[in-house]
């Protein structure tokens, strides 16, 4: 009887010891297996949550890859800078010097063939307009100027008192107003004066530059060799007198001799 009880007890202990590990493994494996194959109805809230979660994971992975790549590139540059050959450095310096020499500005020439005022540097030109960058004595840009052909001269209908080369000054003023409207500016004044013994129509305007600074805009119109020429300047107010004097010098030069290649593209 005692032997039978001992045998039954040992059998129970062995059985319980075998069942507990199996149950534990089933509990641990069950939820993971269920989550792996879990599906949601397409386009449901749960489906969208999983979709956005996967998208965030992909973005995070891509960001980590980019950061790792950038770190590798930075380390490569640092290694090259530390262990770089002298030849690479010596080849870079002559190229910079050569570029500096090629970028030296060409002498500015007016349509008459005369040299432009000091500080006028050639800029982008077209078939009907010459553009200049205006620099101060230190080489810093303080404004811009342009010379263009507005169109052919016409016939005056009012005795020439309110016209330039037969073109009514009201028409020229309207062109300036339209331009100022496009460039967020405004016309301040207009008048006629004699330069080199011939009438010149002047329109004074202003516009707002960078940082709210007021820019002085001057438009000179004169008739030369059957065409109406325009000399236009743009500069800060404190540079307007200088550009006005230089513009009159340009007009004097235009009236002396004009190349026939300058024609309007209208």
Q: What is the pLDDT of residues 92-143, one digit of tens each?
A: 454 544 444 445 556 678 888 888 899 999 887 676 788 999 999 888 999 9
What sign has the CA pseudo-torsion 102, 108, 111, 114? negative
Name the residue with tokens 């540059």: 77
* Residue of 228, 208, 225, 227 whose CA lies nearest to 216: 208
Whole-model pTM: value is 0.57
- Number of Cβ within 10 Å of residue 149's Cβ equals 20
The residue extents of the domains of the chain are 1-30, 39-104, 120-256
> Which DSSP symbol is given to 126?
B
Query: How far apart, in whole angstroms, are the C-alpha atoms of residue 234 and residue 209?
Result: 10
Q: Tell me the pLDDT band of 217, cut-offs 50, 70 and 90.
A: very high
Name the residue with tokens 């005369």: 114
Q: Tell me the pLDDT band of 263, cut-offs 50, 70 and 90.
A: very low
Indicate the CATH number of 120-256 among 3.30.420.40, 3.40.50.150, 3.40.1000.10, 3.40.50.300.
3.40.1000.10
pLDDT (mean) for 223-240: 92
């Amino acid at each position: 009887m005692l032997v039978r009880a001992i045998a039954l007890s040992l059998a129970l202990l062995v059985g319980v010891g075998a069942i507990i590990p199996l149950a534990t493994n089933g509990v641990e494996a069950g939820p993971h297996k269920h989550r792996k194959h879990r599906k949601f109805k397409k386009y449901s809230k749960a489906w969208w949550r999983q979709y956005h979660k996967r998208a965030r994971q992909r973005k995070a992975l891509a960001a980590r890859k980019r950061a790792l790549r950038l770190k590798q590139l930075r380390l490569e540059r640092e290694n090259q800078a530390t262990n770089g050959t002298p030849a690479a450095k010596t080849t870079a310096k002559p190229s910079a010097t050569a570029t500096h020499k090629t970028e030296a500005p060409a002498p500015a020439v007016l349509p008459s063939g005369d040299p432009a005022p000091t500080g006028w540097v050639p800029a982008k030109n077209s078939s009907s307009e010459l553009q200049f960058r205006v620099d101060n004595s230190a080489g810093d840009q303080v404004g811009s100027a342009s010379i263009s052909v507005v169109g052919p001269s016409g016939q005056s209908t009012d005795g020439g008192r309110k016209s330039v080369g037969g073109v009514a000054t009201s028409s020229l003023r309207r062109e300036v107003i339209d331009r100022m409207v496009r460039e967020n500016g405004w016309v301040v004044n207009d008048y006629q004066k004699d330069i080199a013994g011939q009438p010149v129509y002047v329109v004074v305007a202003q516009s707002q530059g960078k940082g709210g600074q007021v820019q002085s805009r001057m438009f000179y119109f004169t008739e030369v060799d059957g065409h109406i020429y325009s000399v236009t300047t743009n500069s800060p107010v404190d540079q307007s007198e200088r550009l006005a004097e230089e513009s009159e010098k340009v007009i004097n030069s235009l009236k002396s001799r004009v190349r026939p290649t300058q024609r309007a593209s209208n």
